[in-house]
Amino acid sequence: MAKLKISKKVSTAIINSLGAGVVPRVGLEHIAVGREKELQSLLQNLNDIAEGVAAFRFIIGNYGSGKSFMLQLLRNRAMELGFVVTDADLCSERRLAGSNNEGLATYRELMSRLATKTRPDGGALVAILEGWISKIQQEVAKETGMRPNDDGFDDQVEAKIREVIQYIEDLVHGFDFGNVIISYWRGYRLDDDDLKNAALRWLRGEFSTKTEAKAALGVRVIIDDDSWYDYIKLIAKFTAEIGYKGLVVLLDEAANIYQIPTTVTREKNYNRLLAIFNDTMQCKAENLGVFIGGTTKFLEDPNRGLFADPAWRRRTKESRFVTQAGVQEFLGPVMRLNPLSQEEILLLLQTLTEIHALNFAYIQTLKTSDLKNFVQEIVNRLGAAALLTPGEIVRDFLSVLNIIYQNPSKSFDELIHGADFKPTAVGKDTDMGEDDVAEFSL
């Protein structure tokens, strides 16, 4: 295996994140194994989005199978390719719809986590708007020979801004959205921080009443629980018009919708999800990708999952030809993540071993046979090779590496064959909620 070239910052982030049971935000390319076909399919979706169409995909798998990892890997690739990206975990406070503004809470989270290649950690809304304005100013200066302080320069800039706005005014709520963008420009032009902040508050869904919005910005609508998705579509179109390739929205932990105890509320969320699905699949949205991570039960449970609704079942059930042929389809709306092979697991462990040694600056001595013994011990103690998902082994393996590093007198064989070694049994498709299991989704 070629020697890894990885910075201390990235190796530390990988080790710390994996050790805590979460997916790292950086360095994912170093630990991505066995998902080439799945990733290629998702990258094709990004190509389609960049061409002006929309995409919707479910990434489905049991606990620990790699849903969160795939979403984060897609997030990083999309930013590198020039998309605006945002992501959120669904939970009891953040859903797609609800009686206490849970849908609006999801929108606010998505807006706070807007990210680009130059602002990968989120909070990119201001940078997106001001970067666009600065770009237009440069274009005006180049085309006219005028300087920013010359009379008429700002009027030329506003004319170009309005050229972009007119492309979104025909969409639902597009006129008001455009007026708020113009308000932000005028605040920028006049150095009026109050006006700029009011426009940002509106775009983030932070106005609670229409009266307040009208007083601050002159618009008669606000973003609310019923309309928030319409504004996601507007933002997608807007980002594409100002030079990005589009907007990619990643929603993880969809099992939290499945776990809603009230049937009416759960179905309201499924209906909102169905509207988003139909919108994207029928290309009523442009330059927008929506990717949802969920468990098998979230999709297939006939009583509480999506399959309980005939409309959802018709749209997402696998074709009988896929079932009969015993193959996996990577182009449909549902992408299922199968367990990694033992060879892929071994490759992952080899990579983690090297990253751990690089991070703590020691010479690693573990052989491939040691890693095979570790995998076999996991299989023997959990009882089935089918449980070989990264969620079952990564934290256990890193724990072993940490112990050996901190206690040189301990041997690898002694640790993994000892009676006290108990692998973490996660990844089973049980009735437990996501808060009841220690999930690491790689």
**Burial readout 381-418 (b: 16 or more C-beta within 10 A, e: otherwise):** ebeeeebbbbbbbbbbbbebbeebeeeeeeebeebbee
29-38, 256-265, 287-296: which range is least confident on average?
29-38
190-206: pLDDT as tens digits: 999 999 999 999 999 99
Whole-number pLDDT of residue 15: 93
Q: Are 378 and 393 in contact (CB under 8 A)?
A: yes
236-258: pLDDT as tens digits: 999 999 999 999 999 999 999 99
Place of tokens 């040189």: 408
Two structure tokens written together for 150: 């010359």
Stretch 204-215: mean pLDDT: 97
Q: What is the dihedral of CA 32, 38, 42, 44, to 10 degrees?
A: 120
Residue 409 — left, alpha, or beta (φ > 0 → left; ψ -120 to 50 → alpha)?
A: alpha
Whole-number pLDDT of residue 21: 79
What does the domain layout of the chain look like in residue ranges? 1-31+340-424, 35-116+244-336, 125-217
Q: Are 272 and 98 in contact (CB under 8 A)?
A: no
Q: Are 202 and 223 in contact (CB under 8 A)?
A: yes
Q: Which residues make Cβ contacts (< 8 Å) with residue 340, sequence separation at least 6?
A: 33, 34, 66, 348, 388, 389, 390
Q: Fold for domain 35-116+244-336?
A: Rossmann fold (3.40.50)
Whole-number pLDDT of residue 86: 98
Whole-number pLDDT of residue 387: 55
106-127: pLDDT as tens digits: 999 999 999 999 999 999 999 9
Residues forming beta bridges with residue 338, ordered by sequence position: none
In angstroms, the Cα distances linking 321 to 26, 302, 327, 358, 361 are 38, 22, 9, 47, 52
Q: Are 30 and 406 in contact (CB under 8 A)?
A: no
Q: Are 370 and 413 in contact (CB under 8 A)?
A: yes
Evaluate if residue 440 carries a pLDDT over 50.
Answer: no
Indicate the pLDDT class of residue 424, thresholds 50, 70 and 90. low
374-398: pLDDT as tens digits: 888 877 766 555 556 676 688 889 9
Evaluate if residue 146 carries a pLDDT over 70.
Answer: yes
Whole-number pLDDT of residue 65: 79
How far apart CA 137 and CA 154 sit, in angstroms, is: 8
Mean pLDDT of the chain: 89
Q: Between 320 and 369, where is the model more confident? A: 369
